[in-house]
C-alpha cells in the first residue's frame, strides 16, 4: 500500500482490513479470555500459507446491512439482488455464471435476503431516536497512528463520526437487541472498542468524541433496535485489556516466537469437576 499510513486515510473497507496495522479485531485473536494464544494470532495474520478466509452467510448479510444503513448511496453499486432461480439446469447455471461475471466484486444476496436488508435499513432510518443520529455523520472513516509504547502501527475504522465531533456510532447486527446484546458485548469484547478508537483520535488530534453509541439492530422481524452508550468504566477496562493484548503482540513479534497453550504443563482443572456442578 503506497501511502503514508498516519492520521485520517481515505480507503475502502477491503483496503483497510487487508492493509497493515493492528486493529481491535487483531487484539481478539490473541485474547486469552477468547481461548486464543499468540499462535492463533500468528496463524490469522502472519502465516504466509494460511488459506483465504471464506465469509459466512451471516457475515455477508451483515456487510450488506452495514452498507445499506451507513452508505445507502453506495448500495446499488455494492450489493445486488441475486437471480430468483436455483442452479439446477444447464441454462440456470449459465445464467448464474453470466450474472456473477457481470456483478464481480459486488455482494450478491438471495432475493429474500436482499429484501430483508432493505427492510432493516428502512426500519433503522425511520427510528425516532436512532434515525436522527445517522443523518449527520461521516461514515467509514479510517485512522492510523504509531503506538508510542510498543512502536506498533495501530488503526481503527469508525462506522460513523458526527460531523460536529460530538459522538461516534458503531452498528451491530444481532440476534437480540436487548439482554442478548449485552451478552454479545461480553462475548465479542465490544467493550474494548470505545477506548481503542478514541485513544487513536486523541493521539492524532488531541480530542475525542464525547459519546460512543452502540446501535444494535435485530436481523429478523420486527428488526427491533437497541441504543447503548459506553461508560467510563467500560473505557477503563477496555483500555487496560487492549494494552495487555497489544504488548503481547509486540513482544511476540520482537522475539519471533508465537507460543500456544503448552508453554508449561498445567494441572487439568475441569469445570464442574467430575460431574459436580460448578458453584460459580
User: Which pLDDT band holds residue 92 (cuts at 50, 70, 90)?
Assistant: confident
Structural domain range at position 80: 55-126
- Look at residue 262 and tell me if it is in a domain: no
CB distance 80 to 106 below 8 Å = yes
The C-alpha atoms of residue 43 and residue 230 are separated, in whole angstroms, by 32
Task: Using DSSP, state whether 262 is helix, strand or coil.
Answer: coil
The C-alpha atoms of residue 11 and residue 67 are separated, in whole angstroms, by 15
Task: Using DSSP, state whether 29 is helix, strand or coil.
Answer: coil
Average pLDDT on 53-64 reads: 90
Average pLDDT on 125-148 reads: 96
Q: Are residues 36 and 165 in the same domain?
A: yes
CATH classification at residue 210:
3.90.320.10
Q: Are residues 248 and 142 in the same domain?
A: yes
Grid-cell match 439482554, residue found: 179
User: Which pLDDT band holds residue 276 (cuts at 50, 70, 90)?
Assistant: low
Q: Which helix (H) or strand (E) holds 149?
A: none
Which DSSP letter does residue 74 get? Answer: G
- Look at residue 37 and tell me if it is in a domain: yes
- Look at residue 268 and tell me if it is in a domain: no
Q: Are residues 98 and 122 in the same domain?
A: yes
DSSP string covering 171-228, please? Answer: EEEES-SSHHHHHHHHHTTGGGHHHHHHHHHHHHHS---SEEEEEEEESSTT--EEEE
pLDDT tens digits, 196-233:
999 999 999 999 999 999 999 999 999 999 999 999 99
Number of domains in the chain: 2
* Whole-number pLDDT of residue 158: 97
Map 225-264 to HEC letters.
EEEEECCHHHHHHHHHHHHHHHHHHHHHHHHCCCCCCCCC
Terminal Cα distance for the chain, rounded? 49
Which DSSP letter does residue 33 get? Answer: G
Nearest alpha-carbon partner for 205 in 144, 249, 251: 144
- Look at residue 62 and tell me if it is in a domain: yes
* Whole-number pLDDT of residue 1: 46
Q: Are residues 196 and 117 in the same domain?
A: no
Nearest alpha-carbon partner for 214 in 242, 243, 241, 174: 174
Residue count of the chain, please give it.
Answer: 280
The C-alpha atoms of residue 212 and residue 200 are separated, in whole angstroms, by 14
Average pLDDT on 56-67 reads: 93
What percent of the chain has pLDDT above 90?
85
Q: Are residues 187 and 74 in the same domain?
A: no
Burial of 155 (0-12, 13-18, 19+ CB in 10 A): buried
Q: Are residues 220 and 157 in the same domain?
A: yes
Amino acid at each position: 500500500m503506497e501511502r503514508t499510513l498516519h492520521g485520517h486515510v481515505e480507503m475502502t473497507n477491503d483496503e483497510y482490513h487487508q492493509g497493515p496495522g493492528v486493529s481491535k479485531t487483531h487484539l481478539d485473536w490473541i485474547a486469552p479470555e477468547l481461548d486464543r494464544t499468540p499462535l492463533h494470532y500468528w496463524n490469522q495474520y502472519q502465516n504466509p500459507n494460511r488459506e483465504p478466509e471464506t465469509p459466512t452467510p451471516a457475515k455477508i448479510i451483515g456487510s450488506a446491512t452495514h452498507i445499506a444503513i451507513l452508505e445507502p448511496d453506495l448500495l446499488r453499486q455494492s450489493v445486488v439482488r441475486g437471480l430468483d432461480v436455483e442452479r439446477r439446469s444447464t441454462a440456470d447455471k449459465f445464467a448464474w455464471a453470466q450474472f456473477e461475471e457481470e456483478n464481480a466484486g459486488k455482494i450478491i444476496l438471495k432475493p429474500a435476503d436482499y429484501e430483508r436488508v432493505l427492510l432493516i435499513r428502512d426500519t433503522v432510518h425511520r427510528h425516532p431516536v436512532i434515525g436522527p443520529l445517522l443523518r449527520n455523520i461521516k461514515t467509514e472513516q479510517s485512522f492510523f497512528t504509531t503506538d508510542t509504547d510498543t512502536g506498533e502501527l495501530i488503526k481503527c475504522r469508525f462506522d460513523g463520526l458526527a460531523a460536529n465531533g460530538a459522538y461516534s456510532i458503531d452498528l451491530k447486527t444481532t440476534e437480540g437487541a436487548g439482554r442478548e446484546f449485552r451478552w454479545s458485548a461480553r462475548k465479542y469484547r465490544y467493550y474494548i472498542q470505545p477506548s481503542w478508537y478514541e485513544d487513536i483520535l486523541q493521539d492524532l488530534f488531541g480530542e475525542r468524541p464525547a459519546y460512543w453509541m452502540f446501535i444494535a439492530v435485530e436481523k429478523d422481524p420486527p428488526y427491533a433496535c437497541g441504543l447503548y452508550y459506553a461508560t467510563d468504566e467500560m473505557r477503563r477496562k477496555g483500555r487496560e485489556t487492549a494494552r495487555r493484548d497489544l504488548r503481547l503482540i509486540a513482544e511476540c513479534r520482537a522475539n519471533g516466537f508465537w507460543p500456544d497453550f503448552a508453554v508449561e504443563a498445567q494441572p487439568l482443572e475441569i469445570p464442574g469437576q467430575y460431574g459436580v456442578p460448578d458453584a460459580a
